Amino acid sequence: MKRTIVVTGGSRGIGRALCKAFAAPGVHIFFNFHSLEQAGKETAEYISAAGAIPGRFRVNVADSEEVADFFKTIIDTTGRIDVLINNAGISRDNLLARMKESDWDDVVAVNLKGAFNCTKAAIRTMMKQKYGRIINITSISGVSGNAGQANYSAAKAGIIGLTKSTARELASRGITANAIAPGFIETDMTAELPKATKDAIMAQIPAGRPGAPEDVAGVAVFLASEAAAYITGQVIHVNGGLYI
């Protein structure tokens, strides 16, 4: 059986590493991007090079109608969804006193409502199959909180609640739902942090190095495997010891 994998925000960073990690001959990998067309094309090339079949779409995960169309296309094409990885995310950091309402709304809409929209669109098919793997990318900030990230931390903490409720509702249907909480991973998202901030984080990482997107992708491959069939509702930390 050829699997169908869906990765949101698959065009760059952790999402691209997820697409590459699942790419194998005959596997369908559908991913979306939001604005950077060229990055999406490059991810599709990696998928094709591994013999997998890419499906690349411009979709705003915060928009439930766009998400519904995206999943309709997937189901019309392959008839199944084996793995959904809710990875798309943005940050708009600022201290609470200076945080604009729009920065709160945008971060919650993409990170949290986006995961809800995609999960809702995928689970009917997974329930019919009596099989599915849902993996939500949360963050260390959603567990420990982080000064300057009230919006992002709240959205990522919300994802953990969404994951646990999804796990409880769907375990009897053969569907698992887990979250991965990355620490400091080198991507475009963290590249924009000031050097002093990066140095301060690095000094607190017992492993002595930043994470790579592949460190996260490997855990997702495990959670989507048969070896992880009895793991659900969990948060797996991938942070080099930054949060223990």
Site residues (CB under 6 A) for ligand NAP?
Answer: 8-9, 11-15, 32-36, 39, 59-62, 87-90, 110, 137, 139, 182, 184-185, 187-190
* Residue 62 or 81 with smaller CB distance to ligand NAP: 62
Active-site choice (46, 131, 152, 243):
152
* Residue 132 or 210 with smaller CB distance to ligand NAP: 210
* Residue 19 or 81 with smaller CB distance to ligand NAP: 19
Clarify whether 243 is annotated catalytic.
no
Question: Whole-number minimum distance, CB 101 to ligand NAP, in Å?
Answer: 18
CB of 118 closer than 8 Å to CB of 71? yes
Question: Whole-number minimum distance, CB 196 to ligand NAP, in Å?
Answer: 17
* Residue 80 or 156 with smaller CB distance to ligand NAP: 156
Question: Whole-number minimum distance, CB 95 to ligand NAP, in Å?
Answer: 19
As a whole number of angstroms, the distance between CA 161 and CA 34 comes to 25
* Residue 37 or 130 with smaller CB distance to ligand NAP: 37
| Residue carrying the six token digits 């995960």 | 61
CB of 31 closer than 8 Å to CB of 84? no
As a whole number of angstroms, the distance between CA 90 and CA 3 comes to 28
As a whole number of angstroms, the distance between CA 189 and CA 129 comes to 35
Question: Whole-number minimum distance, CB 237 to ligand NAP, in Å?
Answer: 10
H helices of the chain, where?
Answer: 13-22, 37-49, 64-78, 101-107, 114-129, 140-144, 150-170, 188-191, 195-202, 213-223
CB of 133 closer than 8 Å to CB of 229? no
Question: Whole-number minimum distance, CB 230 to ligand NAP, in Å?
Answer: 25
User: Is 109 exposed, middle or buried (CB count within 10 Å of its CB: 0-12, 13-18, 19+)?
Assistant: middle
Amino acid at 93: D
- Which residues participate in catalysis according to the annotation? 152
